[in-house]
Chains A and B, each alone.
Chain A
Amino acid sequence: MNVWIAIALTAAGCYLVKLIGLLVPAGALERPLVKRLAALLPVALLAALTAQQTFSAGHDLVLDARAAGLAAAAVALVLRAPFLVVVGAAVAVTAGVRALGW
């Protein structure tokens, strides 16, 4: 049930912000400070999410095979690999490191 509440809130919220963009007159959100904040918020959230989902298990900080996978994704990004290759590299390296018993 909790999951359905989260899904309903997310679906409604995410749709509304998309619609607001198309409906409000330009200018309302065009203030420089608002624009800069809007550009930086995703950066902060994505960075925190990447770190948490790589280095956490519940409330504990851990270093495990996912870190190797993320490093592989980073290398793929530096080499300008396509999106799917980046994700595939992370998955394959993580699985490989686990298979080696780390």
Chain B
Amino acid sequence: MAEQTAPAPPVIRDGTPAKPDAAVVRDALGVGVAVGLSGFAFGVTSAGSGLSLLQTCVLSLLVFTGASQFALVGALAAGGNPFTAAAGAFFLGTRNAFYGLRLSQLLALPKAVRPFAAHWVIDETTAVALAQPSRRAVRIGFTVTGLTLYVLWNLTTFLGALGAEAIGDTVAWGLDAAGPAVFLALLAPMLKSATERATAGIAVLLGLGLLPVLPAGVPVLAAALAAPAVLWAQGRRTASTGGEKDPR
């Protein structure tokens, strides 16, 4: 295939002084530890939503993409059926496919390693890897972030779920606010332009407006339609203002 014989991607800059390995490891550890510890919030939320300790830990071990995990337990707690709950979590996970596309060029992993590396393709590993100046640094950044985050996320998920079972009423402790706060923290940096803000606003209206009338889990999927709707409206506007007069 042509892609495999293509020259190195532009990120590998010739003549750039190599970044010391220790600096890459330090960056990776910073992200891995900070985010890894928030598995605690997931463990608490999941157990508080009625999932068992085993179910909670299996989610962190096998799904390992935080927003999807929070979405799934939130939808199940709200009484959603397993298919709509899983569909919402799946749609949130689709962004990882696009991270993988960028990473596959930068990491240039052998085919046999890819199925294992794939499990670590998430927001944080991508962010750290993309920030590195050389292939060696990209690989170190990806691996150290992935390993630290995976170990800590699963460990703190377990502790959080244990803790939630021990303290019983998680609502009295305000722990039901952890899920929405996590979503907001993930969302905030994405609201860069009017397009993103319009999408978020319409999604909120759809999600809340349809909540009383549609089965649990479905309003969130309906709210996802805000994304194509905004793109369509934007396409129409640029078509009518840019270029020659539209004959229609």
Q: How far is the CB of B117 from chain A (nearest CB, A)?
A: 7
CB distance from A8 to the nearest CB of B (A): 8
Interface residue ranges of B207-234 to A (CB < 8 Å): 207-208, 211-212, 216, 219-220, 223-228, 230-231
Residues of A contacting B186 in the complex (Cβ-Cβ under 8 angstroms): 42, 46
Bitwise, B74-92 to A at CB < 8 A (1) or not (0) is 1010110111011011111
Q: Give, as a whole number of angstroms, the nearest-CB distance from B6 to chain A.
A: 9
Q: Please, how many angstroms separate the alpha-carbon atoms of A7 and B219 in the complex? A: 20
Task: State the interface size on chain B (CB cutoff 8 A).
Answer: 99
Which of B16-24, B98-106, B131-139, B239-247 contacts its partner? Answer: B98-106
Q: Which residues of A contact B151 (CB under 8 A)?
A: none
Nearest Cβ in chain A — how far from B56, in angstroms? Answer: 10
8 Å CB interface, A27-64 against B: 27, 29-30, 33, 35-56, 58-61
> Is B159 part of the binding interface, using a Cβ–Cβ cutoff of 8 Å?
no
- Report how far A42 CA is from B231 CA in the complex, Å: 14
Chain A residues with CB below 8 A from B64, complex form: 14
Please tell me if the beta carbons of B231 and A40 are within 8 angstroms of each other in the complex: yes
**Is there an interface contact between B121 and A26, defined as CB atoms closer than 8 Å?**
no
What residues of chain B lie closer than 8 Å to A96, measured between beta carbons?
A: 174
Q: How far is the CB of A67 from chain B (nearest CB, A)?
A: 9
Query: Among the listed A3, A19, A56, which residue makes an inter-chain contact with B76, where contact means beta carbons less than 8 Å apart?
Result: A3
- Contact indicator B211/A61 (Cβ below 8 Å): yes
Assembled-state Cα–Cα distance A42/B105 (Å):
23
Q: A17 and B204: CB pair below 8 A?
A: no
Q: Which residues of B contact A40 (CB under 8 A)?
A: 195-196, 199, 226-227, 230-231
Shortest A49–chain B CB gap in Å is 5
Q: How far is the CB of A85 from chain B (nearest CB, A)?
A: 10
Given A14-B89, A91-B177, the answer on whether A21 and B55 have CB atoms closer than 8 Å is: no
What residue of chain B has the Cβ atom nearest to residue A59's Cβ?
Answer: B212
Which listed residue, B51, B82, B174, touches A92 by the CB 8 Å rule? B174
**Partner-A contacts on B (CB < 8 A):** 1, 3, 34-35, 37-38, 41, 51, 55, 58-59, 62-65, 67-72, 74, 76, 78-79, 81-83, 85-86, 88-101, 103-105, 109, 114-115, 117-119, 121-122, 171-188, 190-191, 195-196, 199-204, 206-208, 211-212, 216, 219-220, 223-228, 230-231
16 A-B pairs with CB atoms under 8 Å apart are A10-B93, A13-B89, A21-B104, A22-B121, A33-B231, A41-B224, A44-B202, A45-B92, A45-B223, A54-B180, A56-B208, A56-B211, A87-B38, A91-B181, A95-B173, A98-B174
Known: A3-B76, A95-B173. 12 other contacts (CB 8 A): A13-B93, A14-B68, A19-B115, A41-B95, A43-B190, A51-B203, A52-B220, A56-B211, A73-B184, A83-B38, A95-B172, A95-B175
- What 6 A-B pairs come out closest when comparing CB atoms? A21-B100, A95-B174, A48-B207, A94-B174, A48-B223, A90-B181
Interface residues of A (CB under 8 A from B): 2-7, 9-11, 13-15, 17-27, 29-30, 33, 35-56, 58-61, 65-66, 69-70, 73-74, 77, 82-84, 86-87, 89-98
